[in-house]
Every structure is written in C-alpha cells, then in structure tokens.
C-alpha cells in the first residue's frame, strides 16, 4: 500500500456563488480523481477577489498533494487567477512564449491584442497544460493545477495534465441496496459493524423520491479484501432485519 | 442601503467528495440567497471527519452573517454533524423533547429505537427547523443553520427557516449577450468600463457548445441606477465593436 495521494479543488467565480451558473466541474474532477486513486479531501468556492483566492490557494496547496483550480483564466478584467497563483507562490509572472505560440494556432497575429495576450501570462516556473478546445493553455505550478472554468475546456485540460499526476491506490467501493429497509432499522447494527471493520469506511446514503426513501450502504477502502469482508457483513446484517414500516 | 448580509455554505459528506453523489444543494441555496439579497461569499465541502467539520464551522461562522450546512443529520454512525456543531460552539448536546415529538409524528413509539432517537440530538440552545418531508428536524444555533443533505428535505428546511433570516438589499443583475463577439474583442474596453463604474461588478462569462462560444456580460450591484448606467455603457461598447473572426 502506497502513501495516500490527496487533492483539493478550488472553484473561482462570482457566477457560481450568485447561483447564475451551476458548477459542473466539481463532480467531473471528483470522478476523475476517484478513478486515479487520488482522495479528494476538500473543495472550496471563492469569489473573484484577489485576497480570497491567494489565501485559499496557499491554505489548500500546503495541505494536499494536489490542488486543482477552475475558472478565471480568460482575457477579461475579472480573470485574475494566474496573477493570484503567482502571488500565492511569491513568483513573478509574464508572457510565456509557448503560450503565445499556442494562441497563434487559433488567433491571427493582427488579432492578438493586449487582452488576448493576457491569456499567455503564466507564473514563472509553471508548465503549460494544453487546451485542444480553444488553445489558451492552463498551467501547473508546483502542485497547483490551474484550469479553465468552461466545462468542456476543463475536461480537456484535466485529461492533458493527467499523465503528469501520481495516482494512488485505487479506492474500491461496493454498494449494497437496503431493499426498502429504513436507516433507523439498521443504523445500530451498521454502527457496530463499522467499528468492527476499521480498515474501511461505511456510509449510509438515503435518497428520496415520490416513492419514498431508497437507502444505499457503501463500503469504501483501498484493500479489496477488507472491503469484500465488510460488504459480506453488511449483506448478512440486512438479511437478518426486516422493515418496521417506518420510512426513515 | 443596509449593511451587507453574507453567508457561507458547508457541505458535509464523503459521498460528494468521492464523486458518487453530485451535489445539488449549493446551486439551490445560492439561488435562494440571491433572491433574498444575501451575498453567498464562500462554499466548502468537507468529509465526514469531526476535526474537519468543527474547524470549517468555526472558520465560516465567525466570518459571515450566516452559515448553512447540509448533510450528516440522519440516524447512522456517519451522521455526526449535530455533535460537531455542538463541539464547535462549545455547548452540550442532548435529546430535544420537541424533536422527539416531531419524530413521533411519523414513527410509532415502539419503533423509536436508539438510532432514530439520534435524530433528536440537538445542541443546547438551538432552535428546531421543521421538516415536513420526513419529520426529523434541522436546527439553527446562533448564525449556523443545519439542514439535511437529501435535496427535497433541504429545500423544505430552507423554506421553513427563511422567515427567521434577515435579508439584505437585493442584488440586481443585468445580462447582456455579446451576440457573437469574442471576449478578446471587448476585454480591453470592458476592463476600462469596469474601472469607470466602481459601484457594480462586471463579469464576462463564456460558455461553449458545438456551435462555438457564447459570451454573456453580467452587471451586478445593489443600486439599480448604477447597474442600469453600467449596462447602457456595456451595450454602447459592444455596439461600437465588431467581431474579428476569432472565437475567443
């Protein structure tokens, strides 16, 4: 078993906090990291305010193996992520020749105005992340991966940066449907079972529809044998119970 | 103009971080707060780990007018939010008689086992938030509002707690479609315009589809006159420009 590889996500954008735009990137990145065995440990959403972004970048990059940011790397005045990341690291920032070359794959030289050149401003020491959708690159500085906020571009950048990331032992997750049993009927037994299986985490997740609750118990862990043993114990627990007609 | 009313959201749940469940509550709460004139200023998602929850509750409740939490108030062993909030405030926690009465609206006395009684554990001094969907209540302690994670229940609790919340001056938002103009064509003008209109915030939001980019410029502020003036300036800016064929 290797050491745990952890990550945080920092979503940067007033438009998410106002409710105007609904974030789709957190779920995409969470799924991607799970598949790589990287444990997503924290997410934050902050506004387009320099002090907030710098503080969050520094809090999260010092704590987790990787920090993924989304948003704020376009050409307009509210796109301040690259400058904030440079400030968080205490490094300079300037036009990156390779980023200019990437922009010129899509923009004629006479149209590469000052605003568009802003998209080539990259903190000193960063490596570019290719953007096959609209060319303006993301970048990686140390353990911080800076990506666009537009979901299609973010996904492309995430794919492009992935070969440079270290994966971890993959999390194995096994779901058991509670088959109509209410949480309150199995909660005590499940709590005891969780204590008896310390190598895994066991969660109970209700969802609610017009038909009533549907509960799933999920056993997660990095040791497939421990997960399988705990799953068997959950199945045995549920088989010994019956519903008491209470829907919760 | 009244003082700004601010808020944060704390989403509690391993299942969101693993990607298994996609959060729907952040967008719902963001829309609701916007309509009330409450400025959502930060969001965090943390795992079902006591130290993480306590630290986040204390960081956010001290900084914003309100903190809304979702998740972790059911009957199973992984539902630790109420205990964590009590710990964050340094107060005791125990069975709340009114919460027991609410549970008994749905659960027969003989079925009210120890696990289900956990849902009536409420920090000392908290007020209950009614849950018309499944009865187990949320609660409010000081400026912290603790709600369920199941979206239908969260929405009901949010509605039920709303009369006790102080709203703020409502944010006025006006969107201007860039009508095919690329961000890079208007970015410089928009940046100057934003500087000349300090009473509002102006954002440029690209979205991307197979047809290409579609950009919207959004002017937001609490003074409708300032927003209208800035919006007119944006419209005039765009009318004076034409696309240069660059899609970004």
Closest residue in A to B103 (Cα) is A248
pLDDT at B247: 54
Name the closest residue on chain A to residue B117, using Cα atoms.
A184
Q: What are the pLDDT digits (tens) for B157-176? A: 999 999 999 999 888 999 99
The residue-averaged pLDDT of B18-32 equals: 96
At residue B163, φ and ψ (nearest 5 deg) are -60, -20
d(C-alpha A238, C-alpha A217), whole Å: 10
User: Residue A115 in contact with residue B184, Cβ under 8 Å?
Assistant: yes
Chain A residues in contact with B22 by the CB 8 A cut-off are 27
pLDDT at B242: 72
pLDDT of residue A206: 86
Q: Which residues contact B33 (CB under 8 A, 6 or more apart)?
A: A19, B7, B39, B40
Task: Give the 3-state secondary structure of residue A217.
Answer: strand
pLDDT single digits (tens) B89-133: 999 999 999 999 999 999 999 999 999 999 999 999 999 999 999
pLDDT higher than threshold 90 for residue A212:
no
Kindly give the interhelix angle for B183-196 and B224-239, rounded to the nearest 10 degrees.
140
Q: DSSP assignment of B215-231, as one string?
A: EEEEEEES-HHHHHHHH
- What average pLDDT does the segment B232-245 reach? 85
Domain ranges of chain B: 5-164, 172-239
B176/chain A closest Cα distance in angstroms = 14
Query: B217 near A76, Cβ under 8 Å?
Result: no
- Categorize the per-residue pLDDT at B207 as very low, low, confident or very high, splitting at 50, 70 and 90: confident
CB B191 to CB A115 under 8 A? yes
Give the right CATH number for A172-239 from 1.10.3470, 3.30.1370, 3.30.300, 3.40.720: 3.30.1370
Span B145-156, pLDDT tens digits: 999 999 999 999
* Closest approach of B89 to chain A, Cα-based (Å): 22
pLDDT for the residue A13: 93
ipTM: 0.91
Question: How confident is the model over B61-74, as a mean pLDDT?
Answer: 97
The pLDDT of residue B2 is above 70: no
Q: Measured between alpha carbons, how far is residue A200 from residues A113, A171, A224, A230 in Å?
A: 55, 10, 10, 8
Q: What is the mean pLDDT of residues A33-48?
A: 96
Within 10 Å of residue B175's Cβ, how many Cβ atoms? 14
Helices (H), chain B: 14-17, 25-36, 50-61, 81-89, 97-103, 114-117, 151-161, 183-196, 224-239
What does the pLDDT average to over B131-146?
97
Q: What is the mean pLDDT of residues B49-58?
A: 98
Kind and range of the H or E run holding B177: strand B172-177
Torsion angle in degrees (nearest 10) through CA of A224, A229, B12, B113: 170
Of A47, A111, A171, the CB nearest to B244: A111
Q: Do A116 and B187 touch (CB under 8 A)?
A: yes
Q: Which of A29, A42, A13 is nearest to B10 (CA)?
A: A42
pLDDT of res. A243: 63
Question: Would you say residue B7 has pLDDT above 80?
Answer: yes
Nearest Cα of chain B lies from the Cα of A104 at a distance, in angstroms, of 11
CB atoms within 10 A of CB B124: 12
Residue found by looking up tokens 């070969």 in the block: A163
Encode pLDDT of A235-246 as tens digits.
999 998 876 656
Q: What CATH class has B5-164?
A: alpha beta
pLDDT at res. B145: 98
Question: CB neighbours of B72 closer than 8 A, spacing ≥ 6?
Answer: B12, B13, B48, B53, B78, B79, B80, B81, B82, B84, B149
* CB pair distance less than 8 Å for A17 and B40: yes
Which of B208 and B197 is assigned the larger pLDDT? B197
Query: Is A133 in contact with A156 (CB distance < 8 Å)?
Result: yes
Confidence of residue B245 (pLDDT cuts 50, 70, 90): low
Most B CBs within 10 A among A18, A74, A113, A133, hence the mutation to make, goes to A18
Query: pLDDT value at position B87?
Result: 98
Work out the average pLDDT over A28-39.
96
The whole-number pLDDT of residue A114 equals 93
Residue A137 pLDDT greater than 60, yes or no: yes
Q: Give the pLDDT mean for A210-215.
A: 77
Structural tokens at position B76:
């199973």
CB contact under 8 A, A107 and B30: no
The band of A208, judged by pLDDT with boundaries at 50, 70 and 90, is confident
Residue A244 has a pLDDT of 63
- pLDDT above 90 coverage of chain B, percent: 88
* pLDDT tier for residue A190 given thresholds of 50, 70 and 90: very high
Q: Read off the pLDDT of each residue in A103-127 and give the average, rounded to a whole number.
A: 95
- The confidence score (pLDDT) of residue A246 equals 60
For residue B179, name the pLDDT band (cuts at 50, 70, 90). Answer: confident
pLDDT: is B46 or B213 the higher one?
B46
pLDDT band at A179 (very low <50, low <70, confident <90, very high): confident
The shortest CB-CB distance from B19 to any of A31, A195, A213 is to A31
pLDDT over 60 at B1, yes or no: no
Alpha helices in chain A (DSSP H): 14-17, 25-36, 50-61, 81-89, 97-104, 114-117, 151-161, 183-196, 224-239
8 A C-beta contact, residue A45 and residue A71: no
According to DSSP, residue B248 is labeled: -
């Amino acid at each position: 078993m290797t050491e745990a590889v952890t990550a945080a996500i920092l979503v940067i954008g007033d438009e998410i906090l106002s409710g105007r735009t609904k974030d789709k990137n957190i779920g995409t990145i969470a799924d991607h990291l799970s598949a790589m065995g990287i444990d997503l440990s924290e997410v934050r959403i902050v506004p387009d305010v320099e002090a907030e972004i710098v503080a969050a970048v520094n809090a999260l990059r010092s704590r987790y193996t990787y920090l993924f940011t989304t948003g704020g790397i376009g050409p307009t005045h509210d796109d301040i992520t690259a400058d904030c990341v440079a400030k968080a690291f205490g490094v300079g920032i300037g036009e990156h020749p390779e980023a200019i070359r990437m922009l010129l794959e899509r923009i004629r030289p006479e149209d590469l105005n000052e605003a568009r050149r802003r998209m080539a401003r990259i903190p000193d020491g960063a490596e570019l992340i290719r953007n096959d959708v609209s060319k303006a690159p993301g970048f990686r500085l140390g353990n911080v991966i800076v990506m666009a906020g537009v979901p299609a571009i973010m996904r492309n950048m995430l794919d492009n940066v992935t070969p440079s990331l270290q994966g971890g032992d993959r999390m194995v997750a096994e779901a058991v449907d509670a088959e109509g049993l209410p949480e309150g009927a199995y909660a005590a037994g499940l709590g005891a079972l969780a204590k008896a299986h310390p190598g895994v985490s066991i969660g109970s997740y209700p969802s609610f529809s017009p038909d009533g609750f549907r509960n799933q118990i999920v056993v997660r862990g990095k040791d497939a044998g421990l997960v399988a043993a705990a799953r068997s114990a959950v199945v045995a627990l549920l088989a010994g119970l019956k519903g008491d007609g209470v829907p919760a």
